[in-house]
């Protein structure tokens, strides 16, 4: 039995949810998101969204919690928004942005220039004595995570010195290295 799928999703003020055929549309102050669904039914009643499954088949049980979580993420995204922060750890590692172009200097012979999707707002923070931080903000949780994973993939943190691009708050398992 899906415990997550049974919980209703509250709709905050300023957010509208529409269900047509097999598509759910969520509109809020930050944007609009749509999601197709199958194997479950979605109802909007009294300021809540309910996701129900027709039977206890394995496929229905799996999708019950999935679509409830997706709807919850959509509602939070259009009302509050999602943020991911990446930290560049390493000597000489720098990040700067000009609009939607992110320029990363992360130890290669050339800088990496990445065009970020227009739905994602990019901000770089550089303070003296601290590692540069890249902040990604959007109403679409999946898109923010995908962009953050792509940036992290350019130079994943290594276990010996901890150099690389990591999420803020991420703990890197460290190894001892050579012992003489």
CATH of the domain at 46: 3.90.930.12
Please answer whether residues 116 and 122 qualify as being in contact, where contact means their C-beta atoms are separated by less than 8 angstroms: yes
User: Would the pTM of this model clear 0.85, i.e. be above it?
Assistant: yes
Angle 13-29-43 (CA atoms, 0-180°, nearest 5)? Answer: 50
Q: Average pLDDT in the 86-113 region?
A: 93
**Length, in residues, of the chain:** 180
Domain span holding position 22:
3-79
**pLDDT over 90 at 154, yes or no:** yes
Count of Cβ atoms closer than 10 Å to residue 68 Cβ:
23
pLDDT at residue 122 greater than cutoff 60: yes
Stretch 123-128: mean pLDDT? 93
- pLDDT for the residue 179: 80
Of 39, 60, 79, the domain-final residue? 79
Q: Are residues 75 and 121 in the same domain?
A: no
What was the pLDDT predicted at 10? 93
What does the pLDDT read at residue 163? 93
Residue 176 lies in a domain: no
Last residue of a domain, one of 79, 105, 131: 79
Shared domain check, 61 and 11: yes
Query: 92-118 b/e with 16+ CB inside 10 Å = b?
Result: ebebebeeeebebbbeeeeeeeeebee
- What is the mean predicted confidence (pLDDT) over 11-37? 92
Of 79, 108, 136, the residue at which a domain comes to its end is 79
CB 71 within 8 A of CB 93: no
Integer CA distances (angstroms), 142 to 24, 83, 148, 179, in order:
16, 11, 10, 43
**95 belongs to a structural domain:** yes
Task: Say if residue 1's pLDDT is above 80.
Answer: no
Element (H, E) at 142: helix 141-154
């Amino acid at each position: 039995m899906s415990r997550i799928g049974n919980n209703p999703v509250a709709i905050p003020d300023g957010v509208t949810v529409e269900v047509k055929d097999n598509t759910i549309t969520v509109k809020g102050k930050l944007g609009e998101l749509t999601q197709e669904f199958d194997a479950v039914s979605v109802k909007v009643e009294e300021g809540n969204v309910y996701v129900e499954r027709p039977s206890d088949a394995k496929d229905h049980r799996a999708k019950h919690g999935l679509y409830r979580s997706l709807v919850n993420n959509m509602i939070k995204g259009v009302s509050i928004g999602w943020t991911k922060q990446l930290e560049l750890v390493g000597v000489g590692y720098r990040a700067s942005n000009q609009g939607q172009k992110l320029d990363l200097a992360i130890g290669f012979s050339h800088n990496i220039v990445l065009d970020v999707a227009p739905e994602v707002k990019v901000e770089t923070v550089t303070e003296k004595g601290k590692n540069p931080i890249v902040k990604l903000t959007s109403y679409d949780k999946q898109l923010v995570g995908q962009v953050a994973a792509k940036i992290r993939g350019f130079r994943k943190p290594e276990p010996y010195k901890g150099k690389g691009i990591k999420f803020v708050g991420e703990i890197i398992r460290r190894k001892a290295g050579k012992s003489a």
